[in-house]
Amino acid sequence: MTLRWQNIGFDSTEPRPIARWWADFLGWRITSEDEDEIVLEPPEGTPEDGLSPDMIFTRVPETKTVKNRIHLDLRPDDQAAEVARAESMGATRVDVGQGDEVTWVVMADPDGNEFCILRAFNAEELAEIAKD
Distance, in Å, from the CA atom of 84 to the CA atom of 70, rounded to the nearest integer, reads 23
Q: What is the DSSP letter of 101?
A: S
Residues of the domain holding 92: 71-132
- CA distances 69 to 45, 65, 97, 112, 120, Å, are 32, 12, 14, 13, 24
pLDDT digits (tens, 9 = 90+) for 87-128: 999 999 999 999 989 999 999 999 999 999 999 987 676 667
The type of residue at 88 is: S
CATH number at residue 18: 3.10.180.10
pLDDT digits (tens, 9 = 90+) for 18-41: 999 999 999 999 999 999 999 999
- Whether residues 75 and 126 share a domain: the answer is yes
In a domain? residue 1:
no
Domain count, the chain: 2
Residue 1's pLDDT band (cuts 50, 70, 90):
confident
User: How does the average pLDDT of the chain come out, rounded?
Assistant: 93
Q: What is the DSSP letter of 47?
A: T
Last residue of a domain, one of 17, 40, 63: 63
- Whether residues 77 and 124 share a domain: the answer is yes
- Whether residues 79 and 41 share a domain: the answer is no
